[in-house]
Amino acid sequence: MSQRIVIDPITRIEGHLRVEAEIKDGKVAQAYSSGTMVRLLEEILKGRDPRDAWAFVGRVCGVCTSVHSLASVRSVEDALDIVIPPNAELVRNIMFCTQYMHDHVVHFYHLHALDWVDIVSALSADPKKTSEIAQSISNYPKSSPGYFSDLIARLKKFVDSGQLGIFANGYWGHPAYKLPPEINLIGVAHYLEALEWQKEVVKIHTIFGGKNPHPNYLVGGMACSIGLDESSVINAERLAYVSDLLHQAKTFIEQVYIPDLLAIAPYYLDWASIGGGLGNYLSYGDLPTNGYRDPLSYKFPAGAILNKDISKVYEVDLRNDAEVQEFVTHSWYDYAEGNEKGLHPWKGESKINYTGPKPPYEYLDVEQKYSYLKTPRWKGHAMEVGPLSRMLVGYAKGIPEYKDIVDKTLAKLGAPITALFSTLGRTAARGLESVLVAQWALEFYDQLIANIRNGDSRMANTEKFNPDRWEKQAQGVGHSEAPRGALAHWIVIEDKKIKNYQLVVPTTWNASPRDFEGKMSAYESSLMDNTPVANPDQPVEILRTIHSFDPCLACSVHLYDEEGKHLSRVKVL
């Protein structure tokens, strides 16, 4: 715990999330979520060449890398009416799937698993029993008693050296940990396996995008040329390597990630009725199979669900200025026409006015403005975005592959459909969509190869790359489904330059402060939905719910006792 970390935005990776929660009768009674760091890419982009925007916005985050660049090039293409070649769409889709598989696996094992898996308990596991369990849940070859006893020996050697390391990062021994030592050991083993695997799969980004993080994009297509027999472009050897990596990823997800998820979930079924929150779900859709302009062709369908009613999916129109709007009632911004009205992002403003307490401070004044995140609303509704929203929209639309995987999983766990509206549901949905994405990635790959075989090597449409061919004024919206949820960039172009640019990112939907009517957004609402806190000094339960959203921000949590007195200040790990 370090006070400096709690108060100042000095971490090396972007974004700070602060949650202030009040605990009453062992439960979260009040929760406030605050983003305490400014990004403001919007202001940096004004006056720049729209063709360069992707390179700037890509740097918003090194974890969610590439999705912002994708949304950006789409916004420019939308504004300028540029249709990209099928191969470019396929390469973008393959990179998109790669990002998902990497991000979801790293989130599960390295950011979220330790909320459920007790590493210290793993030390007392019986290797033989662990091996039996591992072999009963998966065909993954690394599952012999020798493999697990070797791992225990390594872990013990590490602990015996007097180092706590990752062993110090959690609340080990907390009564909320329910797994037997053997399943804990499997979790630790795969934490390490995932560490090894994750560095491989991102090579796909380096092959198509030149580098990772922050691979290269291009307005009009992709900046990678393909020639099967040529030496200096993406050739048959490189493509075969991509195929290997995609197959490895699919194997890892199907044989490691999903079996672990299903082995852990039965011990935590109480979390299927905790942390649900809003019950409103939004997806913009993504993974076009017939071009970005044809939303009906998307693998991830677009739509909105209200009040947990999956019998109806509402259409979403990002161009309609009455649908997506951002409010600043509780955000450190000022709108020119007053802070009460919401603004559609094409007319969006990003003028900062920090009125919070001077750091270092103890509490935020949550009655006033308390976050650098704006508060987005869809037709006035607070919406949750992310894997659960995507899976629910696909399921509610009756798409067979969604129905199939969701129903099978629920049957396996003996849980009703309502179990999805929860912390556990969110974490499960992320795993299930990883399975779908791993399959789709191979479909896209096969289509790319087929196109190339048929002689189509087009990768970019450069007809309108020259700004002399642009309209004097144009506006567009580029949307995507980032791993963390619905993402869109709205651009206004005038005289070949960016006149206005607004990003509305997934974590803004989920982590934003209350709106003009006092309605909570997803984080606050889910924390106040039945989230227990057995020991305020070790709020592992709060971590479970917040981490189930895959927050893209380093977190700090402040806790209060029933009188609102400050109890402890805990850095979330």
Partner 1 sequence: MGLGNLVMGDEGLGVAFARAMEKEDLPEYVTVMDGGTGGFHLMGHLEAHPKVILVDATMDGGVPGTIRLIRPRFSSDFPKAISTHDIGLKDLIEGMLILGKMPDIYLFVVTIETIQPLYVGLTPEIEAVIPKVIQEVKQLITQLMSE
Of 189-197, 354-362, 498-506, 557-565, the segment contacting partner 1 by CB under 8 A is 189-197
Q: Smallest gap, in angstroms, from Cβ of residue 372 to partner 1?
A: 13
What residues are paired with 300 via a beta bridge?
Answer: 286
Distances (CA, A) of 463 to 19, 222, 334: 49, 14, 40
Distance of alpha carbon 384 from alpha carbon 423, whole angstroms: 12
Tokens 């189509």, located at residue: 456
What residues are paired with 286 via a beta bridge?
Answer: 300
Distance of alpha carbon 217 from alpha carbon 504, whole angstroms: 20
User: Out of 33, 184, 198, 280, which residue is the one contacting partner 1 (CB under 8 A)?
Assistant: 198
The answer to the question of residue 120 lying near partner 1 (CB under 8 A) is no
Given phi > 0 = left and psi -120 to 50 = alpha, else beta, which region is 193? alpha
Given phi > 0 = left and psi -120 to 50 = alpha, else beta, which region is 215? beta
User: Out of 56, 147, 158, 465, which residue is the one contacting partner 1 (CB under 8 A)?
Assistant: 158
Q: Smallest gap, in angstroms, from Cβ of residue 114 to partner 1?
A: 10
The answer to the question of residue 62 lying near partner 1 (CB under 8 A) is yes
The answer to the question of residue 192 lying near partner 1 (CB under 8 A) is yes
Distance of alpha carbon 242 from alpha carbon 234, whole angstroms: 10
Amino acid, res. 42: E
φ/ψ of 567, rounded to 5, equals: -100, -60
User: Out of 145, 180, 213, 266, which residue is the one contacting partner 1 (CB under 8 A)?
Assistant: 213
Report the candidate in 398, 390, 428 with the shortest Cα–Cα distance to residue 311: 398
The answer to the question of residue 554 lying near partner 1 (CB under 8 A) is yes
Provide the token pair at 126: 């019986």
User: Out of 1, 195, 296, 322, which residue is the one contacting partner 1 (CB under 8 A)?
Assistant: 195
Provide the token pair at 71: 């949304």
User: Out of 26, 47, 165, 398, which residue is the one contacting partner 1 (CB under 8 A)?
Assistant: 165
x/- mask, partner 1, residues 77-116, rule CB under 8 A, reads -----------------------------x---xx-----
User: Out of 75, 212, 521, 531, which residue is the one contacting partner 1 (CB under 8 A)?
Assistant: 212
Looking from the CA of 88 toward its CB, the CA atoms found within 13 Å total 25
Amino acid, res. 128: K
Helix (H, G, I), strand (E, B) or coil at 326: strand
The answer to the question of residue 5 lying near partner 1 (CB under 8 A) is yes
Tokens 């939303």, located at residue: 295
Provide the token pair at 377: 């609303």
x/- mask, partner 1, residues 12-41, rule CB under 8 A, reads xx----------------------------
Q: Smallest gap, in angstroms, from Cβ of residue 189 to partner 1?
A: 10
The answer to the question of residue 11 lying near partner 1 (CB under 8 A) is yes
CB-nearer residue toward partner 1: 1 or 240: 1
Q: Smallest gap, in angstroms, from Cβ of residue 424 to partner 1?
A: 21
Q: Smallest gap, in angstroms, from Cβ of residue 111 to partner 1?
A: 6
User: With contacts defined by CB under 8 A, how many residues of the chain interact with partner 1?
Assistant: 30
Interface with partner 1 by CB under 8 A: which residues? 2, 5, 8-13, 62, 106, 110-111, 154-155, 158, 161, 163, 165-166, 191-192, 195-196, 198-199, 202, 212-213, 554, 573
